[in-house]
Structure 1
Protein backbone atom coordinates (compact mmCIF):
# COMPACT_ATOMS: atom_id res chain seq x y z
CA UNK A 1 0.00 0.00 0.00
CA UNK A 2 1.26 3.46 -0.87
CA UNK A 3 2.45 5.53 2.07
CA UNK A 4 -0.32 7.78 3.38
CA UNK A 5 2.26 10.36 4.47
CA UNK A 6 5.62 11.17 2.88
CA UNK A 7 8.53 12.62 4.85
CA UNK A 8 11.68 14.20 3.49
CA UNK A 9 14.35 16.58 4.77
CA UNK A 10 16.43 19.06 2.78
CA UNK A 11 18.22 22.26 3.85
CA UNK A 12 16.96 21.84 7.45
CA UNK A 13 13.34 21.78 6.26
CA UNK A 14 11.14 18.72 6.79
CA UNK A 15 8.35 18.37 4.25
CA UNK A 16 5.38 16.27 5.38
CA UNK A 17 3.10 15.42 2.48
CA UNK A 18 -0.43 14.02 2.75
CA UNK A 19 -0.52 11.32 0.09
CA UNK A 20 -4.10 10.15 -0.55
CA UNK A 21 -4.77 12.04 -3.81
CA UNK A 22 -7.28 9.40 -4.96
CA UNK A 23 -9.40 10.18 -1.86
CA UNK A 24 -8.83 13.97 -2.04
CA UNK A 25 -6.51 13.50 0.95
CA UNK A 26 -9.51 12.78 3.17
CA UNK A 27 -8.80 11.98 6.80
CA UNK A 28 -9.22 8.56 8.39
CA UNK A 29 -7.74 7.07 11.58
CA UNK A 30 -4.74 5.63 9.72
CA UNK A 31 -3.86 8.95 8.08
CA UNK A 32 -4.34 10.87 11.33
CA UNK A 33 -1.98 8.48 13.14
CA UNK A 34 0.56 8.62 10.29
CA UNK A 35 0.54 12.43 10.33
CA UNK A 36 1.02 12.50 14.09
CA UNK A 37 3.98 10.12 13.79
CA UNK A 38 5.53 12.26 11.02
CA UNK A 39 5.30 15.44 13.11
CA UNK A 40 6.80 13.68 16.14
CA UNK A 41 9.62 12.48 13.87
CA UNK A 42 10.22 16.07 12.74
CA UNK A 43 10.20 17.30 16.34
CA UNK A 44 12.89 14.77 17.26
CA UNK A 45 14.98 15.25 14.10
CA UNK A 46 18.04 17.37 14.94
CA UNK A 47 18.50 18.12 11.23
CA UNK A 48 15.10 19.85 11.07
CA UNK A 49 14.47 23.49 11.93
CA UNK A 50 11.20 24.20 10.09
CA UNK A 51 8.35 21.94 8.89
CA UNK A 52 6.20 22.32 5.76
CA UNK A 53 2.86 20.50 5.53
CA UNK A 54 1.50 20.03 2.01
CA UNK A 55 -0.53 17.51 0.02
CA UNK A 56 -0.36 15.64 -3.28
CA UNK A 57 -3.13 16.02 -5.83
CA UNK A 58 -5.71 18.76 -6.25
CA UNK A 59 -6.96 18.98 -2.65
CA UNK A 60 -5.24 19.83 0.61
CA UNK A 61 -7.77 17.70 2.50
CA UNK A 62 -11.50 17.14 2.01
CA UNK A 63 -12.14 16.23 5.64
CA UNK A 64 -13.30 12.80 6.81
CA UNK A 65 -13.57 10.11 4.13
CA UNK A 66 -16.77 8.15 3.44
CA UNK A 67 -15.55 4.89 4.95
CA UNK A 68 -14.58 6.72 8.12
CA UNK A 69 -18.01 8.36 8.35
CA UNK A 70 -19.70 4.99 7.91
CA UNK A 71 -17.60 3.52 10.72
CA UNK A 72 -18.51 6.39 13.06
CA UNK A 73 -22.15 5.34 12.87
CA UNK A 74 -21.24 1.99 14.46
CA UNK A 75 -18.89 3.26 17.15
CA UNK A 76 -19.66 3.06 20.86
CA UNK A 77 -19.30 6.19 23.01
CA UNK A 78 -15.93 4.93 24.27
CA UNK A 79 -14.73 4.32 20.70
CA UNK A 80 -15.81 7.83 19.71
CA UNK A 81 -13.92 9.30 22.67
CA UNK A 82 -10.82 7.38 21.61
CA UNK A 83 -11.28 8.54 18.02
CA UNK A 84 -11.72 12.17 19.10
CA UNK A 85 -8.60 11.92 21.25
CA UNK A 86 -6.69 10.70 18.20
CA UNK A 87 -7.57 13.90 16.34
CA UNK A 88 -6.84 15.99 19.44
CA UNK A 89 -3.37 14.40 19.63
CA UNK A 90 -2.62 15.31 16.00
CA UNK A 91 -3.73 18.91 16.46
CA UNK A 92 -1.91 19.42 19.77
CA UNK A 93 1.24 17.79 18.37
CA UNK A 94 1.31 20.37 15.58
CA UNK A 95 0.25 23.27 17.80
CA UNK A 96 2.90 22.60 20.45
CA UNK A 97 5.58 21.30 18.07
CA UNK A 98 8.93 22.87 19.06
CA UNK A 99 9.46 23.87 15.42
CA UNK A 100 7.61 26.27 13.13
CA UNK A 101 4.97 24.56 10.95
CA UNK A 102 4.01 26.12 7.61
CA UNK A 103 0.92 24.91 5.74
CA UNK A 104 1.05 24.96 1.93
CA UNK A 105 -2.62 24.82 0.92
CA UNK A 106 -2.93 24.23 -2.82
CA UNK A 107 -6.52 23.01 -3.16
CA UNK A 108 -9.55 22.79 -0.93
CA UNK A 109 -9.26 22.50 2.86
CA UNK A 110 -12.66 21.46 4.17
CA UNK A 111 -13.93 20.39 7.63
CA UNK A 112 -11.09 18.43 9.27
CA UNK A 113 -8.81 19.53 6.44
CA UNK A 114 -9.57 23.15 7.26
CA UNK A 115 -8.84 22.35 10.89
CA UNK A 116 -5.48 20.91 9.90
CA UNK A 117 -4.53 24.14 8.13
CA UNK A 118 -5.84 26.25 11.03
CA UNK A 119 -3.51 24.54 13.50
CA UNK A 120 -0.36 25.43 11.56
CA UNK A 121 1.71 28.47 12.56
CA UNK A 122 1.87 30.08 9.11
CA UNK A 123 -0.52 29.34 6.23
CA UNK A 124 0.02 29.97 2.51
CA UNK A 125 -2.87 29.27 0.10
CA UNK A 126 -3.62 29.61 -3.59
CA UNK A 127 -6.47 31.87 -4.81
CA UNK A 128 -8.37 28.78 -6.02
CA UNK A 129 -8.32 27.13 -2.60
CA UNK A 130 -11.56 27.04 -0.64
CA UNK A 131 -11.89 26.74 3.12
CA UNK A 132 -14.80 25.82 5.34
CA UNK A 133 -16.02 24.05 8.46
CA UNK A 134 -19.03 22.26 6.99
CA UNK A 135 -19.75 19.97 9.96
CA UNK A 136 -23.10 21.52 10.98
CA UNK A 137 -24.52 20.73 7.55
CA UNK A 138 -24.36 16.98 8.29
CA UNK A 139 -25.38 17.08 11.95
CA UNK A 140 -21.84 17.14 13.31
CA UNK A 141 -19.85 19.77 15.23
CA UNK A 142 -16.33 21.20 14.64
CA UNK A 143 -15.61 20.69 18.34
CA UNK A 144 -11.87 20.19 18.67
CA UNK A 145 -10.81 22.67 16.03
CA UNK A 146 -13.06 25.37 17.52
CA UNK A 147 -10.67 25.56 20.48
CA UNK A 148 -7.86 26.55 18.12
CA UNK A 149 -9.92 28.64 15.69
CA UNK A 150 -10.81 31.08 18.46
CA UNK A 151 -7.08 31.75 18.88
CA UNK A 152 -6.85 33.01 15.29
CA UNK A 153 -10.09 34.80 14.52
CA UNK A 154 -12.56 36.96 16.41
CA UNK A 155 -15.52 35.41 18.20
CA UNK A 156 -17.94 36.91 15.67
CA UNK A 157 -16.01 35.42 12.74
CA UNK A 158 -15.76 32.05 14.50
CA UNK A 159 -19.52 32.05 15.02
CA UNK A 160 -20.17 33.06 11.41
CA UNK A 161 -18.07 30.36 9.79
CA UNK A 162 -18.82 27.56 12.28
CA UNK A 163 -22.58 28.13 12.49
CA UNK A 164 -23.18 28.62 8.77
CA UNK A 165 -20.86 25.84 7.63
CA UNK A 166 -20.21 27.91 4.51
CA UNK A 167 -17.17 27.52 2.29
CA UNK A 168 -15.13 30.61 1.52
CA UNK A 169 -12.21 31.68 -0.66
CA UNK A 170 -8.57 32.07 0.29
CA UNK A 171 -8.98 35.85 -0.03
CA UNK A 172 -11.81 35.73 2.51
CA UNK A 173 -9.74 33.45 4.77
CA UNK A 174 -7.02 36.10 4.63
CA UNK A 175 -9.50 38.79 5.71
CA UNK A 176 -10.63 36.55 8.58
CA UNK A 177 -6.96 36.19 9.70
CA UNK A 178 -7.30 32.44 9.25
CA UNK A 179 -4.33 32.35 6.85
CA UNK A 180 -1.28 34.54 6.26
CA UNK A 181 -0.59 34.67 2.51
CA UNK A 182 -2.37 34.10 -0.80
CA UNK A 183 -0.01 33.21 -3.64
CA UNK A 184 -0.43 31.84 -7.15
CA UNK A 185 -0.36 28.08 -7.65
CA UNK A 186 2.68 28.35 -9.92
CA UNK A 187 4.59 30.18 -7.19
CA UNK A 188 3.37 28.71 -3.91
CA UNK A 189 5.99 25.96 -3.66
CA UNK A 190 8.83 28.43 -4.20
CA UNK A 191 7.33 31.07 -1.91
CA UNK A 192 6.81 28.61 0.94
CA UNK A 193 10.33 27.27 0.47
CA UNK A 194 11.85 30.76 0.53
CA UNK A 195 9.87 31.66 3.65
CA UNK A 196 11.02 28.48 5.39
CA UNK A 197 14.64 29.08 4.35
CA UNK A 198 14.48 32.65 5.63
CA UNK A 199 13.53 31.30 9.05
CA UNK A 200 16.25 28.65 8.91
CA UNK A 201 18.97 31.07 7.84
CA UNK A 202 17.89 34.22 9.63
CA UNK A 203 16.71 33.06 13.06
CA UNK A 204 18.06 31.07 15.98
CA UNK A 205 16.44 27.64 16.21
CA UNK A 206 16.21 27.92 19.98
CA UNK A 207 14.68 31.39 19.70
CA UNK A 208 12.08 30.14 17.21
CA UNK A 209 11.17 27.30 19.56
CA UNK A 210 10.94 29.46 22.68
CA UNK A 211 9.01 32.23 20.89
CA UNK A 212 6.47 29.70 19.62
CA UNK A 213 6.19 28.27 23.14
CA UNK A 214 5.70 31.78 24.50
CA UNK A 215 2.73 32.29 22.19
CA UNK A 216 1.11 28.85 22.46
CA UNK A 217 1.56 28.36 26.19
CA UNK A 218 0.44 31.82 27.31
CA UNK A 219 -2.24 32.68 24.75
CA UNK A 220 -4.97 30.53 26.26
CA UNK A 221 -4.34 28.91 29.63
CA UNK A 222 -7.73 27.16 29.36
CA UNK A 223 -6.95 25.46 26.04
CA UNK A 224 -6.48 22.00 27.56
CA UNK A 225 -9.78 22.28 29.41
CA UNK A 226 -11.47 23.40 26.19
CA UNK A 227 -10.04 20.38 24.34
CA UNK A 228 -11.17 17.94 27.04
CA UNK A 229 -14.70 19.33 26.79
CA UNK A 230 -14.56 19.24 22.98
CA UNK A 231 -13.61 15.55 22.97
CA UNK A 232 -16.65 14.73 25.11
CA UNK A 233 -18.93 16.87 22.94
CA UNK A 234 -17.56 15.24 19.81
CA UNK A 235 -18.35 11.79 21.11
CA UNK A 236 -21.77 12.76 22.46
CA UNK A 237 -22.93 14.42 19.23
CA UNK A 238 -22.07 11.27 17.29
CA UNK A 239 -24.82 9.49 19.23
CA UNK A 240 -27.47 12.07 18.30
CA UNK A 241 -30.31 11.41 15.88
CA UNK A 242 -29.33 14.47 13.84
CA UNK A 243 -25.83 13.07 13.32
CA UNK A 244 -27.19 9.69 12.20
CA UNK A 245 -29.67 11.38 9.88
CA UNK A 246 -27.06 13.75 8.47
CA UNK A 247 -24.41 11.10 7.83
CA UNK A 248 -26.93 8.70 6.30
CA UNK A 249 -28.27 11.37 3.94
CA UNK A 250 -24.74 12.50 3.05
CA UNK A 251 -23.57 8.96 2.28
CA UNK A 252 -26.68 8.27 0.20
CA UNK A 253 -26.36 11.65 -1.56
CA UNK A 254 -29.85 12.63 -0.44
CA UNK A 255 -30.98 16.18 0.35
CA UNK A 256 -31.07 16.71 4.09
CA UNK A 257 -34.24 18.36 5.36
CA UNK A 258 -33.42 19.95 8.68
Structure 2
Protein backbone atom coordinates (compact mmCIF):
# COMPACT_ATOMS: atom_id res chain seq x y z
CA UNK A 1 0.00 0.00 0.00
CA UNK A 2 1.30 3.43 -0.93
CA UNK A 3 2.36 5.66 1.94
CA UNK A 4 -0.21 8.28 2.88
CA UNK A 5 2.58 10.64 3.93
CA UNK A 6 5.95 11.07 2.19
CA UNK A 7 9.16 12.31 3.83
CA UNK A 8 12.37 13.58 2.30
CA UNK A 9 15.27 15.76 3.42
CA UNK A 10 17.31 18.08 1.23
CA UNK A 11 19.56 20.97 2.25
CA UNK A 12 18.41 20.70 5.89
CA UNK A 13 14.76 21.05 4.81
CA UNK A 14 12.40 18.16 5.56
CA UNK A 15 9.41 18.02 3.23
CA UNK A 16 6.37 16.20 4.61
CA UNK A 17 3.86 15.55 1.84
CA UNK A 18 0.22 14.48 2.11
CA UNK A 19 -0.06 11.68 -0.44
CA UNK A 20 -3.74 10.87 -0.88
CA UNK A 21 -4.42 12.82 -4.08
CA UNK A 22 -7.23 10.50 -5.20
CA UNK A 23 -9.12 11.48 -2.01
CA UNK A 24 -8.07 15.15 -2.20
CA UNK A 25 -5.78 14.42 0.78
CA UNK A 26 -8.80 14.01 3.03
CA UNK A 27 -8.00 13.21 6.64
CA UNK A 28 -8.65 9.82 8.20
CA UNK A 29 -7.23 8.18 11.35
CA UNK A 30 -4.35 6.52 9.51
CA UNK A 31 -3.29 9.74 7.77
CA UNK A 32 -3.46 11.65 11.07
CA UNK A 33 -1.31 8.97 12.73
CA UNK A 34 1.28 8.93 9.92
CA UNK A 35 1.48 12.73 9.86
CA UNK A 36 2.08 12.83 13.60
CA UNK A 37 4.81 10.20 13.31
CA UNK A 38 6.55 12.07 10.47
CA UNK A 39 6.57 15.35 12.39
CA UNK A 40 8.00 13.64 15.47
CA UNK A 41 10.64 12.00 13.28
CA UNK A 42 11.53 15.38 11.71
CA UNK A 43 11.85 16.96 15.14
CA UNK A 44 14.41 14.29 16.09
CA UNK A 45 16.24 14.26 12.74
CA UNK A 46 19.60 16.01 13.20
CA UNK A 47 19.80 16.59 9.43
CA UNK A 48 16.67 18.77 9.57
CA UNK A 49 16.42 22.43 10.57
CA UNK A 50 13.16 23.54 8.89
CA UNK A 51 10.06 21.58 7.82
CA UNK A 52 7.76 22.17 4.85
CA UNK A 53 4.27 20.65 4.81
CA UNK A 54 2.73 20.29 1.34
CA UNK A 55 0.46 17.94 -0.60
CA UNK A 56 0.34 15.98 -3.84
CA UNK A 57 -2.53 16.57 -6.25
CA UNK A 58 -4.87 19.51 -6.67
CA UNK A 59 -5.93 19.93 -3.03
CA UNK A 60 -3.97 20.62 0.14
CA UNK A 61 -6.63 18.77 2.16
CA UNK A 62 -10.40 18.61 1.80
CA UNK A 63 -11.03 17.78 5.46
CA UNK A 64 -12.38 14.46 6.77
CA UNK A 65 -13.01 11.74 4.19
CA UNK A 66 -16.43 10.15 3.67
CA UNK A 67 -15.63 6.75 5.17
CA UNK A 68 -14.26 8.47 8.24
CA UNK A 69 -17.43 10.57 8.60
CA UNK A 70 -19.57 7.44 8.31
CA UNK A 71 -17.53 5.74 11.02
CA UNK A 72 -17.93 8.70 13.37
CA UNK A 73 -21.69 8.08 13.43
CA UNK A 74 -21.10 4.61 14.88
CA UNK A 75 -18.50 5.61 17.47
CA UNK A 76 -19.17 5.57 21.20
CA UNK A 77 -18.45 8.69 23.25
CA UNK A 78 -15.22 7.10 24.48
CA UNK A 79 -14.12 6.29 20.91
CA UNK A 80 -14.83 9.86 19.86
CA UNK A 81 -12.74 11.18 22.76
CA UNK A 82 -9.83 8.98 21.62
CA UNK A 83 -10.30 10.10 18.01
CA UNK A 84 -10.42 13.78 19.00
CA UNK A 85 -7.32 13.35 21.12
CA UNK A 86 -5.47 11.95 18.09
CA UNK A 87 -6.25 15.13 16.13
CA UNK A 88 -5.26 17.21 19.15
CA UNK A 89 -1.96 15.31 19.30
CA UNK A 90 -1.22 16.04 15.62
CA UNK A 91 -1.96 19.75 16.03
CA UNK A 92 -0.02 20.14 19.28
CA UNK A 93 2.91 18.17 17.86
CA UNK A 94 3.22 20.73 15.08
CA UNK A 95 2.52 23.68 17.37
CA UNK A 96 5.11 22.71 19.97
CA UNK A 97 7.61 21.23 17.53
CA UNK A 98 11.12 22.65 18.22
CA UNK A 99 11.55 23.37 14.49
CA UNK A 100 9.79 25.85 12.22
CA UNK A 101 6.97 24.43 10.10
CA UNK A 102 6.03 26.10 6.79
CA UNK A 103 2.73 25.20 5.12
CA UNK A 104 2.64 25.27 1.32
CA UNK A 105 -1.06 25.41 0.46
CA UNK A 106 -2.13 24.73 -3.11
CA UNK A 107 -5.82 24.13 -3.79
CA UNK A 108 -8.50 23.58 -1.15
CA UNK A 109 -7.69 23.66 2.57
CA UNK A 110 -11.08 22.93 4.11
CA UNK A 111 -12.27 22.01 7.63
CA UNK A 112 -9.57 19.79 9.16
CA UNK A 113 -7.32 20.63 6.22
CA UNK A 114 -7.69 24.32 6.99
CA UNK A 115 -6.94 23.56 10.63
CA UNK A 116 -3.79 21.73 9.59
CA UNK A 117 -2.54 24.78 7.70
CA UNK A 118 -3.60 27.15 10.49
CA UNK A 119 -1.30 25.64 13.11
CA UNK A 120 1.83 25.93 10.97
CA UNK A 121 4.26 28.75 11.79
CA UNK A 122 4.43 30.30 8.30
CA UNK A 123 1.86 29.81 5.54
CA UNK A 124 2.31 30.27 1.80
CA UNK A 125 -0.64 29.84 -0.57
CA UNK A 126 -1.38 30.21 -4.27
CA UNK A 127 -3.99 32.75 -5.45
CA UNK A 128 -6.27 29.87 -6.46
CA UNK A 129 -6.23 28.31 -3.00
CA UNK A 130 -9.34 28.41 -0.84
CA UNK A 131 -9.81 28.08 2.89
CA UNK A 132 -12.74 27.39 5.17
CA UNK A 133 -13.68 26.17 8.63
CA UNK A 134 -16.89 24.62 7.32
CA UNK A 135 -17.79 22.36 10.25
CA UNK A 136 -20.93 24.23 11.36
CA UNK A 137 -22.54 23.59 7.98
CA UNK A 138 -22.78 19.87 8.74
CA UNK A 139 -23.73 20.10 12.41
CA UNK A 140 -20.18 19.81 13.70
CA UNK A 141 -17.94 22.30 15.55
CA UNK A 142 -14.39 23.49 14.73
CA UNK A 143 -13.48 22.89 18.36
CA UNK A 144 -9.77 22.07 18.31
CA UNK A 145 -8.72 24.50 15.59
CA UNK A 146 -10.62 27.33 17.30
CA UNK A 147 -8.07 27.17 20.13
CA UNK A 148 -5.35 28.12 17.63
CA UNK A 149 -7.24 30.39 15.22
CA UNK A 150 -8.23 32.96 17.82
CA UNK A 151 -4.54 33.52 18.52
CA UNK A 152 -3.82 34.19 14.84
CA UNK A 153 -6.65 36.51 13.87
CA UNK A 154 -8.73 38.92 15.92
CA UNK A 155 -11.91 37.78 17.64
CA UNK A 156 -14.18 39.52 15.11
CA UNK A 157 -12.66 37.63 12.19
CA UNK A 158 -12.47 34.34 14.12
CA UNK A 159 -16.17 34.49 14.94
CA UNK A 160 -17.10 35.33 11.36
CA UNK A 161 -15.07 32.46 9.91
CA UNK A 162 -16.07 29.84 12.46
CA UNK A 163 -19.76 30.77 12.77
CA UNK A 164 -20.52 31.17 9.06
CA UNK A 165 -18.37 28.29 7.86
CA UNK A 166 -17.76 30.29 4.70
CA UNK A 167 -14.98 29.52 2.26
CA UNK A 168 -12.58 32.34 1.51
CA UNK A 169 -9.75 33.08 -0.88
CA UNK A 170 -6.02 33.19 -0.26
CA UNK A 171 -6.12 36.97 -0.68
CA UNK A 172 -8.80 37.21 2.03
CA UNK A 173 -6.74 34.89 4.24
CA UNK A 174 -3.80 37.27 3.77
CA UNK A 175 -5.95 40.27 4.70
CA UNK A 176 -7.19 38.41 7.82
CA UNK A 177 -3.50 37.84 8.69
CA UNK A 178 -4.15 34.10 8.76
CA UNK A 179 -1.43 33.43 6.17
CA UNK A 180 1.85 35.14 5.34
CA UNK A 181 2.28 35.04 1.56
CA UNK A 182 0.27 34.59 -1.63
CA UNK A 183 2.56 33.29 -4.37
CA UNK A 184 1.84 32.23 -7.94
CA UNK A 185 1.71 28.47 -8.46
CA UNK A 186 4.66 28.62 -10.86
CA UNK A 187 6.80 30.25 -8.17
CA UNK A 188 5.59 28.80 -4.88
CA UNK A 189 8.05 25.88 -4.75
CA UNK A 190 10.98 28.24 -5.25
CA UNK A 191 9.61 30.86 -2.85
CA UNK A 192 9.03 28.35 -0.06
CA UNK A 193 12.47 26.80 -0.56
CA UNK A 194 14.21 30.19 -0.57
CA UNK A 195 12.39 31.19 2.63
CA UNK A 196 13.33 27.91 4.30
CA UNK A 197 16.95 28.21 3.20
CA UNK A 198 17.13 31.75 4.62
CA UNK A 199 16.00 30.38 7.98
CA UNK A 200 18.49 27.53 7.72
CA UNK A 201 21.43 29.75 6.84
CA UNK A 202 20.58 32.96 8.64
CA UNK A 203 19.21 31.90 12.03
CA UNK A 204 20.43 29.82 14.94
CA UNK A 205 18.44 26.61 15.29
CA UNK A 206 18.39 26.99 19.05
CA UNK A 207 17.21 30.59 18.76
CA UNK A 208 14.44 29.58 16.34
CA UNK A 209 13.27 26.90 18.77
CA UNK A 210 13.27 29.16 21.81
CA UNK A 211 11.63 32.07 19.96
CA UNK A 212 8.84 29.79 18.71
CA UNK A 213 8.33 28.47 22.26
CA UNK A 214 8.33 31.99 23.66
CA UNK A 215 5.70 33.23 21.20
CA UNK A 216 3.45 30.18 21.57
CA UNK A 217 3.59 29.94 25.34
CA UNK A 218 3.13 33.65 26.05
CA UNK A 219 0.31 34.26 23.55
CA UNK A 220 -1.57 31.08 24.43
CA UNK A 221 -0.82 30.20 28.09
CA UNK A 222 -4.17 28.44 28.61
CA UNK A 223 -3.93 26.35 25.43
CA UNK A 224 -3.82 22.94 27.13
CA UNK A 225 -6.90 23.66 29.21
CA UNK A 226 -8.72 24.97 26.12
CA UNK A 227 -7.77 21.87 24.12
CA UNK A 228 -8.98 19.50 26.84
CA UNK A 229 -12.34 21.28 26.76
CA UNK A 230 -12.37 21.21 22.94
CA UNK A 231 -11.81 17.43 22.87
CA UNK A 232 -14.82 16.89 25.15
CA UNK A 233 -16.93 19.27 23.04
CA UNK A 234 -15.90 17.40 19.88
CA UNK A 235 -16.96 14.05 21.31
CA UNK A 236 -20.21 15.41 22.78
CA UNK A 237 -21.30 17.14 19.56
CA UNK A 238 -20.82 13.91 17.60
CA UNK A 239 -23.66 12.43 19.63
CA UNK A 240 -26.07 15.25 18.78
CA UNK A 241 -29.04 14.91 16.44
CA UNK A 242 -27.81 17.89 14.41
CA UNK A 243 -24.50 16.13 13.76
CA UNK A 244 -26.24 12.93 12.66
CA UNK A 245 -28.59 14.88 10.42
CA UNK A 246 -25.79 16.99 8.96
CA UNK A 247 -23.51 14.04 8.21
CA UNK A 248 -26.35 12.01 6.67
CA UNK A 249 -27.32 14.91 4.42
CA UNK A 250 -23.70 15.53 3.47
CA UNK A 251 -23.07 11.88 2.62
CA UNK A 252 -26.28 11.69 0.59
CA UNK A 253 -25.50 15.00 -1.12
CA UNK A 254 -28.82 16.42 0.06
CA UNK A 255 -29.50 20.04 0.95
CA UNK A 256 -29.67 20.50 4.70
CA UNK A 257 -32.57 22.53 6.04
CA UNK A 258 -31.51 23.74 9.45
TM-score, normalising length: structure 2: 1.00
Corresponding residue for residue 128 of structure 1: 128
Q: Which runs of structure 2 are paired with 1:104-115 in the superposition (5 Å)?
A: 104-115=104-115
Q: CA deviation at 1:220?
A: 1.4
Corresponding residue for residue 176 of structure 1: 176
Corresponding residue for residue 81 of structure 1: 81
Corresponding residue for residue 44 of structure 1: 44
**Cα distance in structure 2, aligned partners of 1:32 and 1:112:** 10
**Cα distance in structure 1, aligned partners of 2:174 and 2:141:** 23
Q: CA deviation at 1:121?
A: 0.1
Corresponding residue for residue 20 of structure 1: 20
Over 4 Å off, 4+ runs: none
**Cα distance in structure 1, aligned partners of 2:49 and 2:221:** 26
Cα RMSD over matched residues? 0.4
Q: CA deviation at 1:217?
A: 1.4
**Per-residue deviation, residues 163-191 of structure 1 (Å, max 9, x unmatched):** 00000000000011110000000000000
Unpaired runs of 5+ in structure 2?
none
Q: Which runs of structure 2 are paired with 1:54-93 in the superposition (5 Å)?
A: 54-93=54-93
Unpaired runs of 5+ in structure 1?
none
Corresponding residue for residue 101 of structure 1: 101
TM-score, normalising length: structure 1: 1.00
How many pairs were matched up?
A: 258
Q: CA deviation at 1:80?
A: 0.2
Corresponding residue for residue 211 of structure 1: 211
* Partner secondary structure for residue 168 of structure 2: strand
**Per-residue deviation, residues 45-86 of structure 1 (Å, max 9, x unmatched):** 011000000000000000000000000000000000000000
